[in-house]
């Protein structure tokens, strides 16, 4: 059995931001976004902007949402962020307009390199193009682009890019069929 010295764990030089800013954000994220209290959506949008997020108009952001680093977040117009969504953005996350993140969805921009004993971060940006729908309790992994109007269905895991107008399901997610909008 291979033994690993976890005392060598290292973030490979990663810094989220100035320590005071990160600490203050942690407090506000917990108090306002990651709360059961139904704070007004406009207040949540303003708070995200205050901490450096670029947020369009018409954002609906429900309760119990966690956003790690708002200064690495861009959200377009008319988006829906459902209950218990987790945006773990160690890297940039760009969310286009008319995007839905259903309940419990996770956007994960970081992982660890398990092949290296110090377990350094492996980071990748996430880009959700216009009209994307990420289903409830689905996961988008680091470095993924979800093409325009693609769908990742409930409990699915996107480990590869999703083609525009495609519907994907499973773990790992595979192409099911073309998305068609009738009206």
Quick check: is 6 in a domain? no
Quick check: is 5 in a domain? no
Quick check: is 2 in a domain? no
CA atoms of 155 and 132, how far apart (whole Å): 16
The domain tally of the chain equals 1
Among 79, 82, 89, residue whose Cα is nearest residue 14: 89
Quick check: is 83 in a domain? yes
Burial classification of residue 58, based on how many CB atoms lie within 10 Å of its CB (0-12 exposed, 13-18 middle, 19 or more buried): middle
- Domain extent, residue 106, equals 17-178
CA atoms of 114 and 103, how far apart (whole Å): 29
Among 163, 93, 170, 165, residue whose Cα is nearest residue 128: 93
Give every residue of the chain whose pLDDT is below 50, as ranges.
1
pLDDT, residue 33, reads 96
Read off the CATH number of the domain in which 36 is found: 2.160.10.10
Quick check: is 50 in a domain? yes
* Structural contact between residues 87 and 109, judged by C-beta atoms closer than 8 angstroms: no
pTM for this one? 0.90
Quick check: is 183 in a domain? no
**At a CB cut-off of 8 Å and minimum separation 6, what does 149 contact?**
129, 130, 131, 132, 164, 165, 179, 181
- The SS3 assignment for 153 reads coil
pLDDT, residue 106, reads 98
């Amino acid at each position: 059995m291979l033994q690993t010295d976890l005392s060598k764990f290292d973030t490979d030089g990663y810094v989220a931001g100035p320590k005071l800013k990160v600490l203050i954000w942690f407090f506000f994220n917990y108090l306002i976004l990651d709360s059961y209290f139904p704070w007004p959506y406009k207040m949540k949008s303003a708070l995200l902007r205050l901490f450096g997020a670029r947020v369009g108009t018409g954002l609906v952001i429900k309760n119990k949402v966690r956003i790690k680093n708002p200064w690495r977040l861009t959200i377009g117009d008319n988006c829906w962020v459902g209950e218990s969504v987790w945006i773990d953005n160690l890297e940039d996350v760009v969310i286009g307009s008319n995007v839905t993140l259903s309940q419990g969805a996770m956007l994960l921009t970081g992982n660890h390199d398990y092949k290296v004993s110090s377990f350094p971060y492996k980071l990748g940006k996430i880009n959700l193009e216009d009209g994307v729908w990420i289903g409830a309790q689905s996961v988008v992994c680091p470095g993924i682009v979800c093409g325009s109007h693609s769908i990742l269905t409930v409990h699915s895991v996107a480990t590869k890019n999703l083609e525009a107008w495609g519907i994907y399901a499973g773990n790992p997610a595979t192409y099911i069929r073309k998305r068609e909008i009738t009206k």
